[in-house]
Amino acid sequence: MKNKEVKILLSAPRGFCAGVERAIEIVEKSIQKYGAPVYVRHEIVHNKFVVDDLKKKGAIFVEELDEIQDKSKPVIFSAHGVPKKIPKDAKDYNMTYIDATCPLVSKVHREAENLNRAGYHIILIGHENHPEVIGTMGQLPNGAIELIQDEMEAKNYNNKSNKKIAFVTQTTLSVDDTKDIIQILKNRFKDIHEPKKEDICYATTNRQMAVKNIAKHCDMFFIIGSKNSSNSVRLVEVAKKSGCENSRLIHSESEVPYNEIHNSNTIGISSGASAPEILVNNFIDDLRNRFTIKIDEVEIIKENVVFKIPKKLN
């Protein structure tokens, strides 16, 4: 098998975004400052490798604040953001909290609040039960914001409020699918208010464009990321839609189909915004042990976004 030559098109940018880097740094710095353990509400970012590594360093992950046994220790809110009620509950428990919500998610929260204040009824385009969607909807009183998940829901949507409507979106959606949903809403509601700048974040957009750019040249495409990582799952969809039907998510429990790779000449590799580069390197090392590989990194744009961590951790 080692004689088999496989060309790897390595998509760039890929992997960690600025919001994920910041969230991980917040947990690490909190452990340094307050001592272990620190609590983290929900997976800080959707990646098992990252979560396991932080557990080893002294983080305890919980889903809700009432699970926290020692409330004298600080709690960190994950990068996906939380409903307004959560910091309030932490205050009521007298807990120290540190908010690792990505600034680009917080931006959508503020947008939704401002639109609500300006008298709009708000549509959130996103996926039900994703923590980011729960967090964004939880910025406003019940009924002030409604979820639309796909084109069908956009076609069937009726504004039952007596207000003008506006929309915001989850940050990690498919750029192309979201455009189609927005177009349906715009056709149906001519004066719908839209965000000045897209809510889908730079990292999601760049990773999707980079995959789209190379997918048609690949026989197989592998996205490294966790099953519950929205942006990783979207990358698989983008690769499929852009010409590589045989595209898969490689997560911690996945079996890599090496026998299928044996029948491929060119494979694409990318990784979601919460997947560390070491997982990509490990995968490439595995391929190197089995095949003669040639790597061609195809970068469509350089990223230099950095988000500051909260002052109290400096």
Closest by Cα among 54, 5, 15 to 278: 15
Question: Does residue 54 belong to the site contacting ligand SF4 (CB under 6 A)?
Answer: no
Per-position x/- string for 184-213, each x denoting binding to ligand SF4 as judged by CB under 6 A, each - no binding: -----------------x-xx---------
* 104 contributes a contact to ligand SF4 by CB under 6 A: yes
Is residue 30 a contact residue for ligand SF4 (CB under 6 A)?
no
Q: Which of 8, 12, 17, 173 binds ligand SF4 (CB under 6 A)?
A: 17
Cα distance between residue 311 and residue 184, in whole Å: 43
Minimum CB separation of residue 222 from ligand SF4 in Å reads 19
Please report, as residue ranges, which positions from 143 to 182 form the binding site for ligand SF4 (by CB under 6 A): 171-172
* Integer Cα distance of 179 and 199 in angstroms: 12
Residue 238 found at the interface with ligand SF4 (CB under 6 A) = no
Instruction: Considering only the stretches 11-19, 28-36, 133-141, 160-168, report the one whose residues sit in contact with ligand SF4 under the rule CB under 6 A.
Output: 11-19
Strands 292-299 and 5-12 come out as parallel
Q: Does 100 bind ligand SF4 (CB under 6 A)?
A: no
19 binds ligand SF4 (CB under 6 A): yes
Instruction: Work out which of 47, 226, 231, 232 binds ligand SF4, going by CB under 6 A.
Output: 231
* Buried b or exposed e, range 179-195, using 16+ CB within 10 angstroms: eebbebbeeebeebbeb
- Long-range contacts from 148-155, C-beta under 8 angstroms, 24+ separation: 148/123, 148/124, 148/181, 148/185, 149/125, 150/177, 150/181, 151/177, 151/180, 151/181, 151/184, 154/181, 154/184, 154/185, 154/188, 155/184, 155/188
Which of 79, 90, 137, 166 touches ligand SF4 (CB under 6 A)? 79
Tokens read off for 197? 């700048």
Site for ligand SF4, rule CB under 6 A:
17-20, 79, 102, 104-105, 171-172, 201, 203-204, 231, 273
